[in-house]
Structure 1
Amino acid sequence: MTQPQEVIKYCPKCGSGDFIYDGSKSFKCQTCQFHFFINSACAVAALIVNDNGELLLTRRACEPNIGMLDLPGGFVDPMERAEQSTIREIKEELNLEITEMQFIASYPNEYVFSGYTVFTIDLAFLCKVKNFDNMHAQDDISGFEFIKPDDIDFNDVSSSSIKNIINAYKKLI
């Protein structure tokens, strides 16, 4: 019971309980006529490869999917460009400085947080970094590891979108 129609019961504008789900992607308040759409939130993921051709993967430090493998990245802040968000997130999580980036692919995902499904569109960027000298886990990751793309255990990867992004990268190389 994490889908928006199962969680949202009252109009966020007037508080009325007469907030009707249309069955696809929006709610409409029968009292104040407020129309609320369920849209995808934007998130970014960085594909960073070392000189040995190994992909940098992180371990999630918090729910959802605590302890599982993930790509470094996170949510795009309001009014922030996806590229700027990628630079910010990689600095926050790993203390790395991105020097180049190239868009690779995007995939939809369902991110369940606090008992609520947030639909996301995850944008993947292939990134080069200045160096790995001062890299350390911080923010919402507990650790990191470099793994050859063909050796990644997809049962240990946190979400379908990250699996899809890694597979898209594997087709490129």
Structure 2
Amino acid sequence: MIKEKSTQPGDVIKYCPKCGSKEFIFDGSRSFKCSTCGFHFFINSSAAVAAVIVNEKGEVLLTRRAFNPGKGMLDLPGGFVDPMESAESAIKREIKEELNLDIEEMQYLISYPNEYVFSGFSVFTTDLGFLCKVKSFEKMHVEDDVSGYEFIKENDINFDEISSKSIGDILKFYFRERK
């Protein structure tokens, strides 16, 4: 059995991004400091958004991930917030990119932390859940990093198929709150 290498920042980042020095020391929790040039780098959470979209039958729209992490698993549509972009703009952009849907109303639900491992590196995220209403499902089709979609009733969701704990937590919160 091949042991996977750690994806934690302290095990992956080896050189100062400012001067290239190997004297880039991890403090063991959330920052690095270069003893050559003094550059101080913090490991912060990246913002990501996820949309809970429900059809007229009360079924939730779940997507299938086209790529790793979690290729083929169920997910809520959404993605990363771009630099200098609001979470509200990001959710509109992501839903348009992934499903060709236009959001007409949104309501913030809740956030949960997540560890998103990509290219052998742990990216820590804060996943912001939004309840979204779309104008119409008429022109919906998959694009971007989505390979498919399904409308699923609450009791039919297999949470073992959900791509991350944070997405499962957002869904569970939504189902608890709407009752």
Same fold (TM over 0.5): yes
Residue 43 of structure 1 pairs with residue 48 of structure 2: yes
Q: Distance in 2 between matches of 1:104 and 1:149?
A: 17
State the match for 2:124 in structure 1. Answer: 119
Give the letter aligned to residue 44 of structure 2.
Answer: N
Structure 1 gaps, min length 5: none
Aligned Cα RMSD in Å? 0.5
- What letter is aligned with 2:104? T
| CA drift at 1:150 | 2.1
1:82 aligns with 2:87: yes
Matches for 1:21-170 after TM superposition, within 5 Å? 21-170=26-175
Q: Distance in 2 between matches of 1:99 and 1:163?
A: 24
Unaligned residue ranges in structure 2 (runs of 5+)? 1-5
d(CA) in 1 for partners of 2:22 and 2:156?
A: 51
**What is the TM-score when the length of structure 2 is the normalising length?**
0.96
Asked if residue 15 in structure 1 is aligned to residue 2 in structure 2, the reply is no
User: Once the two structures are superposed, what CA deviation does each residue of 1:120-169 show, in whole Å capped at 9, x if it has no partner?
Assistant: 00000000000100000111000000001221101100001001000100
2 CA distance for matches of 1:49 and 1:92? 18
- For residues 52 and 73 of structure 1, the distance between their equivalents in structure 2, rounded to whole angstroms, comes to 22
Write the distance in 1 (CA, Å) between the matches of 2:8 and 2:29: 11
Q: Percent identity?
A: 68
Regions of 4+ moved over 3 Å = none
Write the letter of the residue equivalent to 1:78.
Answer: P
Aligned equivalent of 2:3: none
Segment of structure 1 superposing worse, 142-151 or 97-106? 142-151
User: TM-score scaled to structure 1, two decimals?
Assistant: 0.99
Count of residue pairs brought into register by the alignment: 173
